[in-house]
Amino acid sequence: MSGNIELLNATLANARAENRAALVGYLPAGFPTVDGGIAACVALLESGCDVVEVGLPHSDPVLDGPVIQTADDVALRGGVRIADVIRTVREAHAATGKPVLCMTYWNPVDRYGVERFAAEMAEAGGAGCILPDLPVEESEVWRKAAEQHGLATVFVVAPSSKDERLAKITAAGSGFVYAASLMGVTGTRESVGREAQDLVERTRATTGIPVCVGLGVSNAGQAAEVAEFADGVIVGSAFVKKLLAHPDDLDAGLADVRELAGDLAKGVRSRGAAAV
């Protein structure tokens, strides 16, 4: 079975055709348990998310803020393995038919085996990988494996990225570009700021592939704000917080996650009504 980069591309194109941004959710695999994490990913996709990123929990997540680090710790203490990450991708995609990516740091992929990881992701129906710490100059081995298996390679750009650097990154990437809206780690913010819009505009000047903004969006108003200028709105910490709030009641956590996904889905569809 080949990967689902075509499904990802079509999903983002359909959102654009509907004159809206896509809603991309994120949750780490194995949180609060492997089965609970799968249920949560399915809940996101059934309640308004167009795409889901499944995080591969890491003991030293340089990009992730305290909320996602807490969830990663829960997953790691529970013994989550790469096989569980692959299973989460497989079951979330199979249950919904929607594109599911893996977001991971490079070291686990390198140790697992690049070809093996790409092959298993594709076999599971995965759409691709987001690799926030893989320098584009060192990405050829991964990109070749990903292309062979029909997977997108999503790179992360930041406000500090110079225009020449942006062009190099976007030329090597596929699926979409992950634009980190604020410097620093992930986490909800009171305002995503104009820095994000500037980054999207500079990135768009170098590529035709969609640009999705993450790091900071936590409510429908912010989603609407970002949807005014981005092709996709990425939300992670806000979903994780909902599950963390109900450590002993998965059903209550899933209900909150579904409600938030529905609200955010309305936000990304409200272009023209966002606050300036």
Active-site residue, 133 included: no
Cα–Cα nearest to 240, from 30, 86, 62: 30
Q: What helix, strand, coil percent values describe the chain, rounded to 5?
A: 50, 15, 35
Structure tokens at 219: 């409510």
CA distance 109 to 104: 8
Does residue 82 contact residue 33 with C-beta atoms inside 8 Å? Answer: no
Active-site residue, 46 included: no
Q: DSSP labels for 194-222?
A: HHHHHHHHHHHTT-SS-EEEESS--SHHH
Strands 22-28 and 51-55: parallel
Catalytic residue among 53, 84, 225, 231: 53
Host H or E run for residue 268: helix 250-268
Q: Which residue has the tokens 């023209």?
A: 272
Catalytic residue among 6, 35, 46, 64: 64
Q: Which residue has the tokens 């917080």?
A: 241
Phi, psi of 154 (to 5 degrees): -100, 120
Residues tagged active-site: 53, 64
